[in-house]
Amino acid sequence: MDVRKEVMRSRTRQFALRIIRLCASLPKSAAAQVIAKQILRSGTSVGAHYAESCRAKSRADFVNKVEGAMQELEETSYWLELLADSNLLKSARLALLQQEASELMSIFVSMVKNTKSHMEPR
């Protein structure tokens, strides 16, 4: 497998594991648990979408799957911001996760742009 794909698989998997640990550490209040369920779903889906993109049948299929990962990442970023803004966790505790979400988004955007530039025009 391509080294870049392996690096991205590892990064998205580590991101999901960090999200899982974050959710496990949230307070047991109703509000925190609602956010935990949302962020757990979206944050772990990023890697699943990326893994699917690695087996895409075409460039268009690849773009579609990476864009799915981007949607989940955008949602995850929203929930991370909400956690910080609600003071359920200290912003400093979320900073590295937010930074990784931003970096992953930048990489995905580049992947989609690059792939689209190599697709045949319709």
What is the 8-class DSSP label of residue 120?
P
Percent of the residues in the chain that have a pLDDT greater than 90, as a whole number = 90
Mean pLDDT of the chain: 94
φ, ψ of residue 90 in degrees (nearest 5): -70, 140
Tell me the pLDDT tens digit for each residue of 17-67.
Answer: 999 999 999 999 999 999 999 999 999 999 999 999 999 999 999 999 999
Please report the domains of the chain, with CATH numbers, ordered by start residue.
Answer: 3-116 (1.20.1440.60)
